[in-house]
Structure 1
């Protein structure tokens, strides 16, 4: 925030509203902790809005309007949606232990598991074995155990997603099945949110904002495109949106829109008689 103020040439006293979109903010207690921290940074008359980071990602595709669904698929994954009257719902986003299987971590973890299964004789042979060992500069699947547990961070594991995509594009059935499973998982998350919110009644369209490197287009295996096809079978009103601005800009647009809405409510409540 300090860097953004510096680049804009503004001081803290010029700030009227702050929207902070943070991963893991799901409950009022989470919001209150952040609000307590913010109150020591900006003047007393500043309006604060604390949201899950997925909300800012949605706003980055709708230019600040909270309506539709966002699907984020990077290291982790989450689907988050809003109706125009303020109802919200989410699916996934609970981390890999609880089943974010369409995520980058989920894809790469399945690939590593497939290599070990093939090495043990419990699964089919796969190009993933050579490709992953080559990528990690390892000589044997045995060495994957040490590599994995030396630093089992989610982001480190997820860096193997491009290897899985390349193997699928080269015709490897195991890699292809992993990506197909990811598509089904990601589409299921979106469909769960759309269904719970009633975003698509067969007449209206709704934006599906896609964010994250897992959903970026590849040469032949386009995960994002396959997710859209899968969702559209059940909800033909799905309209793909790929944001042209960063989620940070979405958060700024949310702060602006919240402030304008509050100002309009105050104006409408004034009795001019």
Structure 2
């Protein structure tokens, strides 16, 4: 086996010395690939019997905009051992959309498989070193989605690899709680979803059904309302707004009429959501229409959190109990004059003063890997 540690140049985490908990003889892969995705393994198998010097966990965060896979070593399962802070990341790979509702099941699986292979290649390792894969992807909203994806994932990896499939909200939660599922998580990026977990295993969600079904606090929802406001102002149904000139400049268009062709030429969610910074800048400049759009988004996001907290009783019967609130996504980014995330916290704290906002220090893909590590640790300690 190799003794050299490798690190992806794109990784934001430092590799650390780790105590791998177990080693096993590399099992035979269940299947080969004709598309070339895993071709790199053949050379490594000849050179060193599998590549790498760690047992590994793959953590994936798949969204509508991008998909991230991190390769993390399996560190100690000693009693009382907590994950290193920050957790060690050996490699990181990025690909496009893996939401099957957006690109179709075939394209989504191709993206997921490619990004896993890329991460292992960057880590100088192969599937024979993998002990667990935790895949958290937007669009996994029903047990049938989960089972279908699990079957596909198990066909790729050796039989003894632990495979987990969740909605991307799970990875987002775990990124703020070091792999534990308890509390509420709010994701607001291209799309939005609120998810809650209790310590006894109950869970609930709100929103996350996509823009057609009303995810109005999302990046897509904010930008779509801005585009609608421009059209309304242009034809006299709504007030004039700074959004008109700013959006036309951003898109290099000369008239609001051209927005029709621009929008329907490619109505992808992420493309629309990319206009959110323009809406925020207009609100910061005092535009009442843009300000109203963001205030509505805050109310929508706070309502999603409230729905989850109330259904699960996360803050107790009187609403005064403490509960972590993990906040993830580009819409909730701080360091702006008009801080949407800060306004959501202010709004929800009036009703649930014990909510403890957490802005994760690691990305959701690392959270997915930590979630898998916690499961491996429990199984190791129970002897299962």
TM-score normalized by the length of structure 1: 0.94
Return closer, same or farther for 1:248/1:219 CA change in 2, 3 Å cut-off.
closer
What is the DSSP-based 3-state SS (H/G/I as helix, E as strand, rest coil) of the residue aligned with 1:199? coil
- Give 1 or 2: higher helix fraction: 1
Query: Greater CA deviation, 142-151 or 2-11?
Result: 2-11
Alpha-carbon distance in 1 for matches of 2:138, 2:302: 21
Q: Specify which of 257, 260, 266 is matched with residue 374 of structure 2.
A: 257
Q: 2:359 matched to which residue of 1? A: 242
Q: Specify which of 341, 347, 371 is matched with residue 230 of structure 1.
A: 347
**Given the alignment of the two structures, is residue 74 of structure 1 paired with residue 189 of structure 2, yes or no?**
yes
**Given the alignment of the two structures, is residue 152 of structure 1 paired with residue 256 of structure 2, yes or no?**
no
Question: Aligned ranges for residues 176-255 of structure 1 at < 5 Å?
Answer: 176-201=291-316, 202-255=319-372
Alpha-carbon distance in 1 for matches of 2:379, 2:282: 52
What is the DSSP-based 3-state SS (H/G/I as helix, E as strand, rest coil) of the residue aligned with 1:189? helix
**Given the alignment of the two structures, is residue 60 of structure 1 paired with residue 175 of structure 2, yes or no?**
yes
What is the DSSP-based 3-state SS (H/G/I as helix, E as strand, rest coil) of the residue aligned with 1:230? helix
**What stretches of structure 2 of length at least 5 have no aligned partner?**
1-115
Q: 1:84 matched to which residue of 2? A: 199
Alpha-carbon distance in 2 for matches of 1:98, 1:73: 15
Alpha-carbon distance in 2 for matches of 1:132, 1:218: 22
CA contact under 8 A between 2:247 and 2:278: conserved in structure 1?
Answer: yes
What is the DSSP-based 3-state SS (H/G/I as helix, E as strand, rest coil) of the residue aligned with 2:314? coil
1:191-214, Cα deviation, whole Å (9 max, x unpaired): 111111111124532111111111
Alpha-carbon distance in 2 for matches of 1:228, 1:138: 36
1:105-125, Cα deviation, whole Å (9 max, x unpaired): 100111111111111111111
Q: 1:141 matched to which residue of 2? A: 256
Q: Specify which of 281, 289, 298 is matched with residue 166 of structure 1.
A: 281
Q: Specify which of 102, 115, 124 is matched with residue 239 of structure 2.
A: 124
Q: 2:41 matched to which residue of 1? A: none
What is the DSSP-based 3-state SS (H/G/I as helix, E as strand, rest coil) of the residue aligned with 1:91? strand
Q: 1:32 matched to which residue of 2? A: 147
**What stretches of structure 1 of length at least 5 have no aligned partner?**
268-273
Alpha-carbon distance in 2 for matches of 1:14, 1:136: 47
Alpha-carbon distance in 1 for matches of 2:380, 2:359: 31
What is the DSSP-based 3-state SS (H/G/I as helix, E as strand, rest coil) of the residue aligned with 2:350? helix
Aligned-pair CA distance for 1:221: 0.5
1:127-186, Cα deviation, whole Å (9 max, x unpaired): 111111111111111111111111111111111111111111111111000000000000
TM-score normalized by the length of structure 2: 0.67
Q: Specify which of 97, 100, 124 is matched with residue 212 of structure 2.
A: 97
What is the DSSP-based 3-state SS (H/G/I as helix, E as strand, rest coil) of the residue aligned with 2:204? strand
Aligned-pair CA distance for 1:40: 2.0
After superposition, the CA RMSD in angstroms is: 1.4
Query: Greater CA deviation, 66-75 or 200-209?
Result: 200-209
Aligned-pair CA distance for 1:9: 4.1
Alpha-carbon distance in 2 for matches of 1:262, 1:33: 24
Aligned-pair CA distance for 1:8: 3.7
**Relative contact order (C-alpha < 8 Å, sep 6+): which is higher?**
1
